[in-house]
Amino acid sequence: MAMAASSKKPTATTVNNDDRYEIPRTAPEALRPYVDLLTQLDTAGIDRTKGRLGLLLMWLADDVLSAVDEELAPFDISESKLDVLLLLMLAETEKHGENLLSPSAIADYFGVTRTTVTGLLDFLERRKLIRRMNHPVDRRRIQTILTPAGRSLVTRAAPTFWRACASLTEGLDSRDKEDLERVLGKIFANMKARFDAKHRVTPSPRRTD
Task: Provide the number of structural domains found in the chain.
Answer: 1
Asked whether residue 1 is domain-assigned, the answer is: no
Average pLDDT over residues 146-170: 96
201 belongs to a structural domain: no
CATH code of the domain containing 112: 1.10.10.10
Whether residue 158 is contained in a domain is answered as yes
191 is a domain residue: no
Q: Is the pLDDT of residue 4 over 50?
A: no
pLDDT value for 99:
47
For residue 36, which amino acid is it?
A: D
Q: Which domain holds residue 123?
A: 76-167
Mean pLDDT for the chain overall: 83
CA atoms within 13 A on the CB side of 130: 29
Task: Kindly state whether residue 4 falls inside one of the protein's structural domains.
Answer: no
Distances (CA, A) of 164 to 93, 120, 159, 169, 179: 23, 21, 9, 10, 20
pLDDT in tens, 22-68: 778 799 999 999 999 999 999 899 999 999 999 999 999 999 999 99
Range 159-165 average pLDDT: 97
Residue 6 maps to a domain: no
Question: Between these two residues, 140 and 164, which has the higher pLDDT value?
Answer: 164
In a domain, 100, yes or no: yes
How far, in Å, CA of 192 to CA of 195, rounded? 5
Residues 115, 107: contact at Cβ < 8 Å? no
